[in-house]
Amino acid sequence: MNIDELASLPAEGKLAVSELRYRRLFETAKDGILILDAETGMVVDVNPFLVELVGYTHQQFLNKAIWELGFMKDAIASQKKFHELQRQEYVRYENLPLETADGRRKDVEFVSNVYRVGNKRVIQCNIRDITERRQAAAALKESEERYRLLFEQSPDGIVVIDPETARFLAFNETAHRQLGYSRAEFAQLRISDVEASETSQETGARIATVLRQGRNDFETLHRTRQGEIRNIYVTAQFIEKHGQPIYHCVWRDITARKLADAERERLLTAVQQSAEMILITDADGTIRYGNPAFEKTSGYNLKELVGQTSRILRSGKQNAEFYQQMWGC
């Protein structure tokens, strides 16, 4: 029926159409609905959704006061509370526990309003199942608590950066300890204040790259509050937090590893360039390395020796007495 057709109906016809529409909404609503007599608190009607939600039959609802419905005891626990509803004409409860006929717990939102139908006052109670919403909220809270625990206790520095301003929005204990700034000082810093190898333009370009690719791993240099330069390995990525992308960085101080690598390279160069013969073996005598001077003097190619025991040298290209004198083998 269109608007023009409805307008042409007599008052009785319009009322019938209005009641039909209400009944359709009542029957198909995805919220539970109870209709109560506002004077007595007796249930006048209940919609199919609530019947299915709590597992009671339609007949088990009718002609009972709301406080006599076991599953509603936490909402309207007494006649006194019902009288408060009568006076205030509005009640709302959130996160209300409701127990179904088979003992399952449901969390519901309960809203009641008093209104008039003709000369009679009635109460409409809307009951919305928010179990999934509460479970999702609880899961989100647990996830955020786990993240917070990981964030604060991580042995690596973790920072959250505003991609627009490059300012540090959040940082863990490790990050501010590594750089030597107090928490108050750290909160005022931008990446450019600690970056020792990039210009602000290069940093902006890197952030844009991470935004485009989602993630980037790289090495950089940070300057501490005391001016010391530290080698840092960074894993940067954009993650969603409350619907907003944030620049999230986990960094590891690899200065000690870099120094060890450099020292190892220095020693290796010294060994390779030494005029003295150098042979390295395992504890059981298995040969692992010989320097160029050894190869030249012994006449062996290193590929021939690696993995062999030093006994191979006794039958080698040099006099066995020579090796006994040099290594006692």
Check whether 324 has a pLDDT greater than 60.
Answer: no
Query: Do residues 286 and 192 lie in contact, with contact meaning Cβ atoms separated by under 8 Å?
Result: no
Residue 124: alpha-carbon gap to chain centroid: 40
- Residue 117 pLDDT exceeds 70: yes
The residues, any chain, with a CB within 8 Å of residue 220's CB and separated by 6 or more, are 195, 196, 197, 198, 232, 234
**pLDDT, tens digit, for every residue of 169-195?**
899 999 988 999 988 898 899 898 999
Mean pLDDT of the chain: 82
First to last CA, the chain: 109
pLDDT tens-digit map of 208-229: 888 888 889 999 999 999 999 9
The letter for the amino acid at 205 is A
Query: Cα–Cα distance between 250 and 246 in angstroms, integer?
Result: 13
DSSP letter at 55 equals T
**Gap between the Cα atoms of 92 and 96, Å rounded:** 10
Q: Which domains does the chain have, with CATH numbers?
A: 3-134 (3.30.450.20), 154-257 (3.30.450.20), 272-327 (3.30.450.20)
pTM exceeds 0.75, yes or no = no
Written as one letter, the residue type at 72 is M
What's the pLDDT at 8?
53
Tens-place pLDDT, residues 119-166: 888 889 898 888 888 888 888 888 888 888 888 889 999 999 888 888
Residue 9 is predicted with a pLDDT of 46
Q: What is the pLDDT of residues 33-90, one digit of tens each?
A: 999 888 888 999 999 999 998 888 999 888 888 878 877 666 565 566 777 778 888 8
Q: Can you spell out the DSSP letters for 162-183?
A: -TTT-BEEEE-HHHHHHHT--H
**Residue 132: burial class (beta carbons within 10 Å; 0-12, 13-18, 19+):** exposed
pLDDT above 70 as % of the chain: 84
What pLDDT band is residue 204 in, cutting at 50, 70 and 90?
confident
